[in-house]
Homo-oligomer: A and B are copies of this chain.
Amino acid sequence: MKKLINSVDAIVTDTLRGVAAAHPSLRVDFENRVIYRRNAPHQGKVALVSGGGAGHEPLHGGFVGYGMLDAACPGEVFTSPVPDQMIEASKGVDGGAGVLHIVKNYTGDVLNFEMAAELCADEGIEVASVLVNDDVAVQDSLYTAGRRGTGATLFVEKIAGALAETGAPLAEVARLAQEVNERSRSFGVALSAGTVPAAGKPTFDLSDTEIELGIGIHGEPGRTRTTHREAREIARLAMDAVNDDVPLSGDTLVLLNGMGGTPLLELYIVYGEVAAYLEEKGARAVRCLVGNYVTSLDMQGFSVSVCRLTDELTRLWDAPVETAALRWGR
């Protein structure tokens, strides 16, 4: 394993040092491991807090700033943060209008955020939570852990963040966050596994002729393995999975997301196929992002997330945002 790190144990601390050095608009609490907007809290504004394991950068720290998150809590690599971080973050951003926890649906994240929400309530902070579970690769069932939260997290953070800036109350921001999640679906494909530093070798092995379909963002293998093929066909496999779950139509927002080790060149090729697929189905990608946004360390591959837009969602997507990884309108 070759990585640009000082030591496996120092990864998160050292990343935070870099984030603090790079972004004067952010404030990093190294002890509690929280990335804040420099000028948090904002009185009267609903605050958004998210968090999750490291290894998904720029998620979530790269989305802290005007129009998106108020704070982010990074856990260890691929490990949910702990309740202390979330409590500290919630206290640090609460401007009296309450805090929305944006939680990706993984047992670890859910349990830790649940504990944090309870303890926040004890301290008088109003907390609402939204669970992101957009990954159609996972069967949705009452008897399982349910669908994973992946690329739609970015949609939820951006759109709910924009609504929060308008001064909307917590219940409304939470409702909209929920709506964005419900309107979004994702599917991921890996060409190679990433290497978790603590494990020291790739999480799984793929031969030169195989790909994994339905992977998540934690280096876990997917649901099935198939033979490698043209980008067009791989894009179709992914889009079919999305379309089979909820037929695509109308205006959509698309995230063509790299898993960390795939160059932008290839992501654009796949995006071209995705756009063509949508058109074939009578849908349109009226807004999109192409790049590394919700990654899985150095995994090679991509995920595609599609959100069926409403006028309100489009307007809030277009609203100004100013974060390390997403910026427009200011």
Contact = CB atoms under 8 A, between A and B. Distances in A.
A267 B232 contact: no
Contacts of A231: 4-6, 14
Q: How many copies are assembled?
A: 2
Interface string A143-187: 000000000000000000000000000000000000000000000
A234 interface: yes
Interface of A: 1-7, 11, 14-15, 17-22, 54-55, 57-58, 62, 77, 191-192, 206, 208-209, 211, 228, 230-232, 234, 256, 260-273, 275-276, 285, 288, 290, 292, 295, 297-298, 300, 302, 322, 327-330
Contacts of A290: 18, 22
Contact of A300 (B18, B21, B298): B298
Interface centre among A19, A263, A272, A290 (most CB of B within 10 A): A263
Main secondary structure of the interface of A (DSSP, over half): mixed
Contact of A265 (B20, B209, B230, B297): B297
A268 B19 contact: yes
A197 to B, nearest CB: 9
A3 B298 contact: no
Contacts of A15: 265, 268-269, 272
Contact of A263 (B57, B206, B234, B256): B57
A297 B270 CA distance: 15
A22 to B, nearest CB: 5
A45 B14 CA distance: 44
A38 to B, nearest CB: 16
Nearest to A54: B265
Nearest to A278: B21
8 contacts: A5-B230, A5-B231, A18-B275, A22-B268, A261-B261, A263-B295, A327-B328, A330-B330
Given A2-B228, A275-B21, A11 B298 contact: no
B232 A6 contact: yes
A205 B7 CA distance: 24
